[in-house]
A and B are shown apart, each in its own frame.
Chain A
Amino acid sequence: MSTPTPTEGRAAPEPIKAVPVRHPGRWIAAAVLLVLAAMFVNMLVTNDKFNWPFLLENMFSPPVLYGVWTTLKLTVLAMAVGISLGIAVAVMRLSGNPILAGLAWVYTWFFRAVPRLVLCVLFGNMGILYQNLELGLPFDNYWMPALGLDGDARFYSVPMNEVLTPFMAALLALALSQGAYMAEIVRAGLLSVDKGQTEAAQALGMGRGLILRRITLPQALRVIVPPTGNEVTAMLKDTSLVSAIPLTTELFFQLQAIGNRTFDLFPMLVAACLWYLAITSLLMVGQFFLERSFTRGDRSAQAEVTIMQSKAGH
């Protein structure tokens, strides 16, 4: 038996030249798609129901731009409140306190079970329930007369429609609903952190809050951030639901209003598509860079190890 000789000193073999596998199916599919695309473009150009000049004229009109601003504002605020709520609720749910955990469960259950559109309309009509928002002692209408007292035990009162403006109703509906979803995402993130991390921190004498803030939450972020990016995109689109409150300054409501007023609705619906497409695409770019920066620690560490190994090899 002869052992194989080391490859050193042997000539490198010629690169392989072979006939590649043919894919006729791909060519056929491409041709079909090309024809369909041409038909679609032809429709866009020749069908005057699109009314492009009218669309362009109104897509950037001041009320529509203000609608974009409202939509963005609502997205950012609802997400900010939703994320904060989500963290708080997730921590409550995972705390050993049965009252807080139960409360968190009920909250998540309710706001995940009721559709956002229904929530929006519900919060928009909350004024029906109470004329005024009042602060005072509970059940004063029962015990005050029973004690023979006149008047009421309410110290502060504002009309409901001053507090619960359409914007506020929209924000509440979206943020409370988002909080429930974020709670589940944050909870999954916190549970993904190895239990040994908490134990090591406990052994160092760190308390619950400190462990959460410094050890578990930062490590949970890598699990929390990607789905949260998707939630931002979803939220941007869901702001269109608040036109049902109605929040009249919002983008979709504005475009629909122009369409209804001019009896030329379809171009305005296309404009809505274009606006949502544009903003969502921007968000997706932002999400790409955000996610990349969150995995950077791993990649640079990996690169450094590779460099060290290649140095050691020489």
Chain B
Amino acid sequence: MSATAGGEDASTRAGDLPQAPGDDVMVLAENVHKSFGRLEVLRGIDLEVRRGEVMCVVGPSGSGKSTFLRCINHLEKINGGRLWVNGRLMGYRQHGGRLYELRDSQVAAQRRDIGMVFQAFNLFPHMSVLGNVVEAPVRVKREPRAAARETAMELLDKVGLADKAASFPRQLSGGQQQRVAIARALAMRPELMLFDEPTSALDPELVGEVLDVMKDLAREGMTMVVVTHEMGFAREVGDSLVFMDGGVVVESGAPKRVLTDPQHERTRAFLSKVL
């Protein structure tokens, strides 16, 4: 795991394109820039997530951590730098020293093995719990419905909600909805899971049940990038911790080290407020 503060000195040179990372690297970000209009949200992010690693990303609101997560599965288009997931350049094809934008359908195909869990759950309200989990495997992967149902029931069992298969999302508590959302993402058998503040919209007493599911997932060796405010989770489950502020990675390292012995003033200031 390595991550450095973004460089203002780094410039992209034509004809000198970065090469795809090795097999053991799941996510590789090189000098990723993203702006919304004139607002620069990401100002040069370099980091690497190894296969099986659980990386927690923390930082004050507006630091760009959610935006970076959304860049990983190309929900946001990056303006500069390169972003590889599972050895593939996200959103582009590199050929003969040039970048070609991918078509919508090709981007959709790239997203299939990246699961994502949102702060607001975003379950499909017009479908049952089972319908939510089965939808993508059946419609996108064209799995036979019976097999998809069986897998879905196993996943719902795993998140402790097999008895809610026939319920509709709005009949469930927030914690239950978020666990369904995790099962829905897992149904596509992703190689990488992205969590965008998965417990921030939950009542305090419901946070634990979602974190427990995530811990199980981490133990099974899932590669995870988790944007979170749960420092306890980061310390216990995370293999690495990244502190972002102002659109750059300020500090990163082993969670225990960063949390107990932060090197940067900004990290110290942030941690003193949240710990």
Contacts and interface: CB of A to CB of B under 8 A. Distances in A.
A219 B125 contact: yes
Q: Give the residue among A194, A204, A207 with the most B Cβ atoms within 10 A.
A: A204
Interface residues of A, number: 23
A284 interface: no
A205 B126 CA distance: 19
Interface of B: 73, 75, 104-105, 108-109, 111-112, 114-116, 118, 120, 122-126, 135-136, 139-140, 168, 170-171, 181, 184-185, 188, 194
B116 to A, nearest CB: 4
B58 to A, nearest CB: 22
Contact of A301 (B75, B124, B171, B185): B171
A297 B126 contact: yes
Given A210-B140, A297-B168, A305-B171, A203 B185 contact: yes
Contacts of A214: 135, 139
Given A207-B108, A301-B168, A301-B171, A202 B75 contact: yes
A194 B123 CA distance: 11
A245 B85 CA distance: 63
Given A218-B126, A219-B125, A206 B136 contact: yes
A297 B115 CA distance: 28
A72 interface: no
Nearest to B132: A200
A219 B126 contact: yes
A199 interface: yes
Contact of B122 (A197, A205, A298): A197
Main secondary structure on B side of the interface with A: mixed
B124 A205 contact: no
B111 A205 contact: yes
The 5 closest A-B pairs by CB, nearest first: A205-B112, A200-B122, A203-B116, A204-B136, A196-B122
Nearest to B123: A200
Interface string A215-227: 1001100000000
Contacts of B112: 204-205
30 contacts: A199-B75, A199-B122, A200-B116, A200-B118, A202-B75, A202-B108, A203-B73, A203-B115, A203-B116, A203-B118, A203-B185, A204-B112, A204-B135, A204-B140, A204-B185, A204-B188, A205-B112, A205-B188, A206-B139, A206-B140, A207-B108, A208-B104, A214-B135, A215-B124, A219-B125, A219-B126, A297-B168, A301-B168, A301-B170, A301-B171
Given A205-B112, A205-B188, A305-B171, A210 B122 contact: no
A65 B170 CA distance: 49
A218 B188 CA distance: 23
Contacts, number: 68
Contacts of B108: 202, 205-207
Interface in A78-111: none
B168 A203 contact: no
Contacts of B185: 203-204
A311 B184 CA distance: 30
A204 B111 contact: yes
B109 A205 contact: yes
Given A200-B123, A301-B171, 10 more contacts: A202-B75, A202-B111, A203-B116, A204-B135, A205-B111, A205-B140, A206-B108, A206-B139, A297-B126, A297-B168
A203 B114 contact: yes
B100 to A, nearest CB: 18
Contacts of A207: 104-105, 108
Contacts of B116: 200, 203
Nearest to A221: B126
A203 B75 CA distance: 8
Contacts of A134: none
Interface in A159-178: none
A304 interface: yes
A220 to B, nearest CB: 10
B135 to A, nearest CB: 7
Contacts of B139: 206, 210, 214
